[in-house]
Amino acid sequence: MKYSFRNDYSSIAHKKVLERLIECQNEQNIGYGEDTHTLNAKKIIQDKIKNKSEVFFLVGGTQTNMTIIDHILKPYEAVIAASTGHINVHETGAIEGRGHKVLTCNTTDGKLNPSMVLEILNNHTDYHMVKPKMIYISNTTEVGSYYTLSELKALYKCAHDNDLYLFLDGARLASALAISDIDYPDYAKYTDVFYIGGTKNGAYLGEAVVINNKNLATEFQYSIKHNGAMLAKGFVASIPFEVLMEGNLYKEIGSLENECANYITQKLKSLGYKFYSDSKTNQIFVIVTNELANYIKKEYDFEIWNKINDNEVAIRLVTSFTTTLEISKEFIEYLKQYK
Amino acid sequence: MKYSFRNDYSSIAHKKVLERLIECQNEQNIGYGEDTHTLNAKKIIQDKIKNKSEVFFLVGGTQTNMTIIDHILKPYEAVIAASTGHINVHETGAIEGRGHKVLTCNTTDGKLNPSMVLEILNNHTDYHMVKPKMIYISNTTEVGSYYTLSELKALYKCAHDNDLYLFLDGARLASALAISDIDYPDYAKYTDVFYIGGTKNGAYLGEAVVINNKNLATEFQYSIKHNGAMLAKGFVASIPFEVLMEGNLYKEIGSLENECANYITQKLKSLGYKFYSDSKTNQIFVIVTNELANYIKKEYDFEIWNKINDNEVAIRLVTSFTTTLEISKEFIEYLKQYK
Amino acid sequence: MKYSFRNDYSSIAHKKVLERLIECQNEQNIGYGEDTHTLNAKKIIQDKIKNKSEVFFLVGGTQTNMTIIDHILKPYEAVIAASTGHINVHETGAIEGRGHKVLTCNTTDGKLNPSMVLEILNNHTDYHMVKPKMIYISNTTEVGSYYTLSELKALYKCAHDNDLYLFLDGARLASALAISDIDYPDYAKYTDVFYIGGTKNGAYLGEAVVINNKNLATEFQYSIKHNGAMLAKGFVASIPFEVLMEGNLYKEIGSLENECANYITQKLKSLGYKFYSDSKTNQIFVIVTNELANYIKKEYDFEIWNKINDNEVAIRLVTSFTTTLEISKEFIEYLKQYK
Amino acid sequence: MKYSFRNDYSSIAHKKVLERLIECQNEQNIGYGEDTHTLNAKKIIQDKIKNKSEVFFLVGGTQTNMTIIDHILKPYEAVIAASTGHINVHETGAIEGRGHKVLTCNTTDGKLNPSMVLEILNNHTDYHMVKPKMIYISNTTEVGSYYTLSELKALYKCAHDNDLYLFLDGARLASALAISDIDYPDYAKYTDVFYIGGTKNGAYLGEAVVINNKNLATEFQYSIKHNGAMLAKGFVASIPFEVLMEGNLYKEIGSLENECANYITQKLKSLGYKFYSDSKTNQIFVIVTNELANYIKKEYDFEIWNKINDNEVAIRLVTSFTTTLEISKEFIEYLKQYK
């Protein structure tokens, strides 16, 4: 196999992250996230977002979503999400496992807007139904789209006008930062809580939870432990963020991913391919015949996203921190050689 | 500070584990534990325990206990544990958070025996009370004791005579393997499920869940994801086990830990110290005056375990994969210089 | 006010039920559903359904749905329902509160069919998503429609071909029995579990859970108590069923309800009213102007179901065991006097 | 059989309660506890306790405990109870089923005091353990003892000094009111929430939850429904309280129960019987030989509470609203005839 476009979590970690890990190997640190690496990573993030938000380091995306929602919602409260949202589809009921209904909106592009939220609120007005209390969005979304700053502001205003919390899942925040006009401080200003994804952006693991709404941060460590999400070696989850958030590395990773993905997308378009969704970020959803899918599979790995008809499938190609323009070009050359 | 005896998870990882991680950095692997490292680690463990048990790699102890118990028990079923058991005391209600009562036995040494189990069964005979369905033990225990093979066999027989499952928490299994007559294959024979702790034995993280009772393994991956315990980069959790379980490294780590701990214990005894519990494993619980505790703290870190009276405290000293006999000797010398 | 068509649970109980209650007032009975009334009611139901199913008596609909689903599903398993299903809309997240996702199908008439179920199964094929394990249907449905025997058989076949359980919510089973070709024994043959609703059919409270699939009945009493659903005075919930299920009373109540509802519907049709849904059972969903709604409200109570536009609303009129043809005629006369 | 002393919930309801039910049979009422009976019962209770507390009517004890605790505690918070407490022993894990640990104190008499509470607080000081947040007590207790006003005040002060809530389970409050110096208004003053038990004091079912701490009442109806505890016919649960709380009936029931129980206890003492616990309320725990137990069983029902040794058992005799002094005298006569 030449290369895997299957996902953005197939390689252990960015070279610089691993170098730092090795540098620290002879240290002895305090446990449970009370160590100096964790404090330092927290400070770097606070500087970046220009806000004294509380910061906690968890392991993976589903765990992070589950812990945050478990911490914030009362038993009878629900979270609003796009029907394509990760918490609705790909978390094996982790949110419901904590007792909460996910109220869904059908969207064309994986993005929520205030009118969708208001429609749900209008339908949930008494104690016979769950009480909507949180809006969940992802940036970039699960289908490759992204929010603009004005869209984020509108949702945040809608949330606060209606006594809801806005929670932003940043599993792929690097790609979002690289393309959207939403910058670090905006995430602190226009969400109650968000997380900076490490796993899909060059860390061996780790998600940095940033709680901007101070009321929601109280006793969050109890919820982390209660959800089985507390690392004894907390520094193992924070060290990658010391590296990724220093300077511009995190956003640069997103930029390169987007650049490679856009290169591939443009070439595919010029070759006449149809797309399953319109994405400018690091996930490409393209429609190919079954035969072509088999041809690609000989040298490149990818995920089959959806069956289109008996002859065609939508496949997902994902660029990551290991993808280069060279790899992307080779891939296009390989495609051109088909038949 | 000269050295921290605070716990066995203060350093990132054993040198060999980190070396292997670096060697693999340019690979691309499949996600979610379906990669070749995970398969290989599973095979090494199966060879070691001489059984085709199912093996899964999770992140930390509380998460592992929570996921296993959530997977196995029905909503109204309960788990029996020593009152000092990790699941009863130090998991912030993670087991109850999954809906299950922990039924406790008071013990003198942190160890369960069949008569304790039977007493609980005799008191839980109808549907007005929870149904005891699982025995939870730790080896080594939370207070430094360990089970012998005959004790383990007796509990396993008791479990199966009474339609219970036996689950063994091996967060500190290295230390147990080094001192007890229970060998790897015995854990496969005399438990329904156990785990081989990585976090406290030289891995940067990771616990290897070994399910010997095949019925309990069905759909375990659903439960892993449902509990937010599935790593996208599954190989990150299994690579340490490829290293630790190769040859004898894991048990050697336990041996050295025990050796250093025993050296310290013997010296302390000869210096007239009293002990809070009788431990032959890598945790030492020793009683010191408040003044001595302060003196030690200047150069060595440790945990204050319990207040004994106004003048004395029990402190816990833990040896780890980074402890050497030299460090242990220096520590004793430092103690001798007191007053 | 002349009469309330607001719901079918506005009056305490059918006269015969209350008479029986008074007759029994000097008895002393054993607690927790182990009394002779409960055994007798169980036997009457077994005779009626011609099957030795297990029978338990709970208090209300949401509690019954919650307890059954909690008992049957594993933590990561989900239940399939119409998006209009009671468990999806009107139980304040009770099912999610027990950890389970409700997977929904959009329907035109509140009824599921095998192709809807299969579509959900096709989209839930691995451990990253919940595992669908149960089909939930209501008869009559929440929008007034009902299943035929052939439809029920098809769903049951679909369930068992795909290793799913079929659960039928019979909160309004009296109305269903009176109109559909599904008779008592068919409910035993073609569902794994169903319940015979008491609260909405003449009991002061009570739902009779009938578990046809014996494997699902094991230890059900533990789940009843675990869900706070066990009555100390179990006989209070079973006495109404001794009365209602004797002879033909239960079905007669449904017949009269349907008859009154159909009388009203036919008259409304002849008067030119439009309907919000096509119902032949005891719930009528009719569209009226806001002014007419206000006129009706002076003398008759009802529920506003949905806003249609600025001038019109859909209202729900429900007939119950206290409705008579006379009351229905008076209501139509009152309507005729409008304007 | 002459009479059953098995429990205080063997007969349907007090004659006056049933008379009132019959009187109301032709009414039509609004659902879900928004009816006039419920409002009236609430007002009667507010008058009795001289406080504008919120009042809700639920069905049974376990359900009430589960709903209140689910409503008040955060996921990682725990409730402190006597090890004999109903929530710890006889609710089949309903509290853990809602995610909360029950922290227990061993007592000699089933009663908590501030020093027990403080000991638990001293042992739960960080996020590795659950956070104690509520004290749960029962009056009368599960072993027949009762709290005095000064004891209640001390616990309430302890609770509020330590940021805990005090919740009092009044399943047998009638008996407590009749013997203790705690009067209705004291329950409003010195608890955050309590309930007035109906099921064991002459109602066919029903427990009146009284929330004195207004913050805890917010959105309680959501929690009722979420826990499957909301009756469609809410008036069915409140009508008994209109009757029982009018005038002095509720306390009179407790007085007669206590009087009969004390008569039996005194006679048994004078006949030389030993007691398993010292009770002045309506539960008598007396030790008898196996042979005597068999003799009694021929004519009187009771519960075997505990095996004392091979020859003796502790049995529980409970007086109820149907017990009379005559019945009690006959029972003593029957005992005297033994051998």
Which of B31, B92, B232 lies nearest to residue A226, judging by beta carbons? Answer: B92
User: Do D95 and D228 belong together in one domain?
Assistant: yes
Q: Does residue A339 register a pLDDT over 80?
A: no
Crossing angle of helices D149-161 and D114-123, rounded to 10°: 20
| 3-class secondary-structure state, position A29 | coil
Asked whether residue B85 falls in the same domain as residue B179, the answer is: yes
The answer on pLDDT for B339 being more than 80 is: no
By C-alpha distance, which of B96, C61, A204, A155 is closest to D93? B96
Could you report the per-residue pLDDT of C220-244, keeping only the tens digit for each? 999 999 999 999 999 999 999 999 9
CB contact under 8 A, B128 and D78: no
| Cα–Cα distance, A107 to A116 (Å, whole number) | 9
Q: How far is CA C281 from the centre of its chain?
A: 12
In terms of domains, do A197 and A263 share one?
no
- On whether both B269 and B315 belong to a single domain, the answer is yes
Option in A75, A102, A127 nearest C97 (CB): A75
Residue B1 has pLDDT above 90, yes or no: no
Q: What residue of B is the nearest CA neighbor of C100?
A: B226
Confidence band for B158, pLDDT divided at 50, 70 and 90 = very high
Residue among D92, D98, D128 whose CB faces B130 most closely: D92
* DSSP characters over A266-305: HHHHHTT-EESS---SSEEEEEEEHHHHHHHHTTEE-EEE
**Structure confidence by residue, pLDDT tens digits, D222-232:** 999 999 999 99
Picking from C63, C77, C101, C103 by the largest number of A CB atoms within 10 A of its own CB, the best residue to mutate is C101
Residue after which a domain boundary falls, among B244, B278, B309: B244
Quick check: D204 and D12 in contact, CB under 8 A? Answer: yes
**Which chain D residues have a beta carbon less than 8 Å from that of B78?**
93, 96
pLDDT, residue D21, reads 98
Give B243's pLDDT tier (boundaries 50, 70, 90).
Answer: very high
CA nearest to C130 within chain A: A92
Domain interval for residue D69: 15-244
Among B236, B240, B186, B239, CA closest to B210: B186
Q: How far is CA C288 from CA A81, B10, C2, D222, D230, in A?
A: 34, 72, 19, 31, 31
Q: Which residues in chain C show pLDDT less than 50?
A: none
pLDDT at B128: 98
Contact flag D97-B75 (C-beta cutoff 8 Å): yes
pLDDT per position as a tens digit, B271-304: 999 999 989 999 999 999 999 999 999 999 999 9
Residues A147 and A199 in one domain: yes
Give partners of B (≥3 CB pairs < 8 A).
A, C, D
Task: Mark yes or no for CB contact B219/C99 under 8 Å.
Answer: no
Which pLDDT tens digit goes with each residue over A322-333? 999 999 999 999
Q: Domain holding C201: CATH number?
A: 3.40.640.10
Asked if the Cβ–Cβ distance from C225 to B32 is below 8 Å, we say no
∠ CA A166-A168-A172, rounded to 5°: 170
Tens of pLDDT, residue by residue, chain D (339 residues): 899 999 999 999 999 999 999 999 999 999 999 999 999 999 999 999 999 999 999 999 999 999 999 999 999 999 999 999 999 999 999 999 999 999 999 999 999 999 999 999 999 999 999 999 999 999 999 999 999 999 999 999 999 999 999 999 999 999 999 999 999 999 999 999 999 999 999 999 999 999 999 999 999 999 999 999 999 999 999 999 999 999 999 999 999 999 999 999 999 999 999 999 989 999 999 999 999 999 999 999 999 999 999 999 999 999 999 999 999 999 999 999 997
C225 to chain B, minimum CA–CA distance in Å?
7
- Partner residue facing D128 (CB), from A71, A130, A225: A225
Helix, strand or coil, per DSSP, at residue D206 = coil
Please indicate, yes or no, whether residues C178 and C286 belong to a single structural domain of this protein: no
Chain B closest-CA separation from residue D112 CA (Å) = 20
| Set of chain C residues whose Cβ sits within 8 Å of the Cβ of B71 | 75
Residues C209 and C99 in one domain: yes
What single-letter DSSP state applies at residue D32?
T
Closest chain D C-alpha to C229 CA, distance in angstroms = 7
* Distance to chain A for D128, nearest Cα, Å: 7
Structure token pair of residue D150: 């000064």
- Average pLDDT value for residue range A76-83: 98
Comparing CB atoms, the residue among B31, B93, B226 nearest residue A10 is B31
pLDDT above 70 covers a percentage of chain A that reads 100
Looking at the structure, do residues C66 and C177 belong to the same domain, yes or no? yes
**Structural domain count of chain D:** 2
Who among C30, C61, C226 is closest to D97 (CB)?
A: C226
Cα dist. A16→A21, B17, B22, B250 in Å? 9, 18, 11, 29
Task: Looking at the structure, tell me whether residues A80 and A224 fall in a common domain.
Answer: yes
Yes or no, beta carbons of A225 and D71 under 8 Å apart: no
Closest Cα in chain C to A130: C92
Residues C107/C142, Cβ–Cβ less than 8 Å: no
pLDDT of residue A41: 98
Instruction: Answer yes or no: do A222 and D71 touch at CB < 8 A.
Output: no
Q: Which of D324, D299, D278 is nearest to D2 (CA)?
A: D299
User: What pLDDT shows up at residue A59?
Assistant: 98
Task: Please check whether residues C222 and C297 belong to one and the same domain.
Answer: no
Q: Which residue is closest to C124 within chain A, CA to CA?
A: A89
% of chain B beyond a pLDDT of 70: 100
Residue B149's pLDDT is: 98
Average pLDDT over residues B144-155: 98
Q: Do D260 and D202 fall within a single domain?
A: no
Q: What is the pLDDT of residues B4-30, one digit of tens each?
A: 999 999 999 999 999 999 999 999 999
Give the model's pLDDT for residue C1. 87
Task: Enumerate residues 6+ apart whose C-beta is below 8 A from C339.
Answer: none
Rounded Cα distance, A75 and B146, in Å: 41
Residue that finishes a domain, picked among A244, A265, A292: A244
Touching D (3+ Cβ pairs <8 A), the chains are A, B, C
Residues of D in contact with B92 (CB under 8 A): 76, 127-130
User: Is omega for the bond preceding A92 within 30 degrees of 0, making it cis?
Assistant: no
Closest CA to D151 of D135, D162, D163: D135
Would you say C280 and C255 are in contact if contact means Cβ atoms under 8 Å apart?
no
User: Could you give the ipTM of this predicted complex?
Assistant: 0.97
CATH of the domain at B281: 3.90.1150.10
For tokens 């446990």, what's the residue? A31
Q: Given a contact as 3+ CB pairs under 8 Å, which chains touch C?
A: A, B, D
pLDDT at residue B120, rounded to an integer = 98
Picking from C244, C278, C308, the residue at the C-terminal end of a domain is C244
**CA D289 to CA B152: how far, in whole Å?**
40
**Inter-chain contact B222–C127, Cβ cutoff 8 Å?**
yes
- Residues of chain A with Cβ-Cβ distance to B99 below 8 Å are none
Task: Give strand pairing partners of B194.
Answer: B168, B210
pTM, two decimal places:
0.97
Q: Which residues pair with A57 in a beta bridge?
A: A208
Are D43 and D185 within one domain?
Answer: yes
